[in-house]
Structure 1
Amino acid sequence: MYPPLKRERLERWIQQIHPNSRLLRTWRLRGGVSARVIALEIRLADGRTTKMVLRQHGEADRNRNPQIAADEYQLLRLLREAEIPIPSPFDVDPSTSSILMEFVEGESGKASTHPADFLWQLANHLARIHRVDIAKWGLSFLPAQEKRVANTQPKEAGTSEEERIRRRLEKIGPLPSRNPPRLLHGDYWPGNTLWKDGRLIAIIDWEDAAQGDPLADVANCRLELLWALGTDAMVAFTHHYRSIMAEIDFTHLPYWELCAALPPISKISTWKLDPATEQTMRKRLKQFVDRALIKTI
């Protein structure tokens, strides 16, 4: 469920940014599992047309953080100043948990014709995120990743695979981090990147941003790449990231891999995948978990 935002109110809001403009049409953009993302086509006062994006947070995000829209807007403004490629934020309406932002012309998760370059760019941009100075850019308002992980782990008995992971996490964690806290995207994977002409031009969907061990982002992206492109792609991405971020201690990567693997186990069946794809993803997820469990013995 989303707070109501009537067209008349939206038009007035747009005109505060572009005086004497007119909203021509709106359409829903694909993706946006936890938020509603709507494209807006606008005729400007001089007759030219432009596009904007309205991003509105859903009930789950608002329950987790009633100020999530304001926090994300603040984060995007700071990231823009820090020269991280993100859509420029124009304004925020906390009362409807909405952000108006730049429309970026690109394709989501689009790999270039050169897979090696695609994986290098993914790793390089994740490293750029992790090198943003939290203190310098005033990002201390972001939550700690460790607390978020503890709050999102299932409290009730689940599948045997969920129980296997949860028992191991309870036995070994929470582990003291070997890395200083870094800015985390929180859900970094190809689907949250936009590409044009073989270049990564924007990183989107920052509602899960946090501060904590950078291995949390690495583990999440490793699993997503394993699903989408296979083991070789996962390994190549990790190699590129490690070559850029040589200062990062990878000792606890298996722990964060288990954290990344736990939420999807019960959700895969709700993703409306064809049977063959679901079977492949479950098989690869089990391989991912088995490897992490062996490494954490």
Structure 2
Amino acid sequence: MMMVQEDQKFHTLVHRMNAAWQLLRTWVLKGGISAQVTGLEILQSDGHIIKLIVREHGDLDLQRNPHIAADEFKLLNLLHSENVSVPKPYHLVPDGELFLKPALVIEYIEGKANFAPSNMNEYTYQLAVALSQLHRIDCSCVDVSFLPLQIENYNKLLVKDLLRLDSLLNNSDTLEKIHSFLRLPSCNKVAILHGDFWPGNLLWNNGQLISLIDWEDAAVGDPLADLANGRLEFLFHFGEDAMNCFTNHYQAMMPTVDYSHLAYWDVFAALRLCRFSEWGLDEETVKMMHDKHRFFVTQAINRLIS
């Protein structure tokens, strides 16, 4: 009976979106940890078949931002209008209407993440193109008031997770530098940030990057925040050379960005990604990530004190 009720909810949803559409099937999409994701296959009145996704955000995201579905819907509309490669948003389901939680209906992208690129230079180049395109959007010309400030997010991380970085940051000089930096105005223009820029949130098809997905961590702030997060993720998954290649491509495409404070943003990226031991990974992978994480933090600290 529960399955019948769930199916009926999706039939009702499709009918509300367009009374002439017919739901052909649904399926559960696996792999995400921040949302419950259901695929929909729909027959349109003209005979064409489209695939959509229903995203229901998880409890942690909703606790952090009760309006996260509506905010992501607005953001995807904005990015789609700016020709950023994101899933097209179709419909927003308010809280308690059809589903227990608010839900977002977006385009289904025929692609998958690529963790084994055959050409690392081309791979990192395409990622740098996508990130630079996002960061070039002029925030003074679009409404981004619904997005949080990334610096405030990192202020909270600094309080909560600083001790996880063991002894590397546990000295007064380094801590004072970091806290002083938080009080300084940004050297760069505010940009829209993905907030979780890593290979798992990038979809590929036939060697082409076709979509940036999962925007629940989006914010506004210094573009170096996204760059630093991507740098650490590249170090984790592909090594130091790939990290540097990605960084060099981005810097070449964004020559007007001031990179003098990148070391600070590297520290914040390390704070954000310091809980990998809790991700259910095998012991060998955790050790590898710990070693790379410590290398990344050490490099950042050395640049801060030099």
- TM-score in terms of structure 2 length: 0.88
Alignment partners' CA distance in 2, 1:239 and 1:278: 28
More divergent stretch after superposition (82-91 vs 132-141): 132-141
**Deviation sequence 1:193-224 (CA, Å, 0-9, x none):** 11011111000111111111010000000000
- State which of 229, 234, 244 in structure 2 corresponds to 1:220: 229
Task: Tell me the residue number matched to 1:279.
Answer: 287
- Aligned residues: CA RMSD: 2.2
Written as runs of structure 1 = structure 2, the 5 A alignment for 1:120-199 is 120-155=125-160, 158-159=163-164, 161=166, 164=169, 168-169=174-175, 171-173=177-179, 174=182, 175-199=184-208
More divergent stretch after superposition (197-206 vs 34-43): 34-43
State the Cα distance separating 1:275 from its structure 2 match.
2.1
Task: Tell me the residue number matched to 1:244.
Answer: 253
Alignment partners' CA distance in 2, 1:188 and 1:79: 15
Structure 2 CA distance for partners of 1:293 and 1:157, relative to 1, 3 Å? closer
**Deviation sequence 1:127-186 (CA, Å, 0-9, x none):** 000001112222232111111111233437844628836964554231431111111111
Alignment partners' CA distance in 2, 1:256 and 1:166: 18
8 A contact 1:220–1:260 mirrored in 2 = yes
8 A contact 1:56–1:98 mirrored in 2 = yes
Alignment partners' CA distance in 2, 1:256 and 1:165: 18
Task: Tell me the residue number matched to 2:32.
Answer: 32
8 A contact 1:165–1:258 mirrored in 2 = no
Alignment partners' CA distance in 2, 1:162 and 1:38: 44
Task: Tell me the residue number matched to 2:98.
Answer: none
User: Number of residue pairs matched?
Assistant: 292
- Fraction of identical pairs, as percent: 41
More divergent stretch after superposition (56-65 vs 24-33): 24-33
State the Cα distance separating 1:125 from its structure 2 match.
0.7
Task: Tell me the residue number matched to 1:89.
Answer: 89
Unaligned runs of 5+ in 2: 96-100
More divergent stretch after superposition (268-277 vs 108-117): 108-117
**What secondary structure is seen at the aligned counterpart in 1 of 2:273?**
helix
Unaligned runs of 5+ in 1: none
**What secondary structure is seen at the aligned counterpart in 1 of 2:52?**
strand
Alignment partners' CA distance in 1, 2:138 and 2:69: 22
**What secondary structure is seen at the aligned counterpart in 2 of 1:107?**
coil
- TM-score in terms of structure 1 length: 0.90
Task: Tell me the residue number matched to 2:53.
Answer: 53
8 A contact 1:110–1:195 mirrored in 2 = no
Alignment partners' CA distance in 1, 2:298 and 2:170: 10
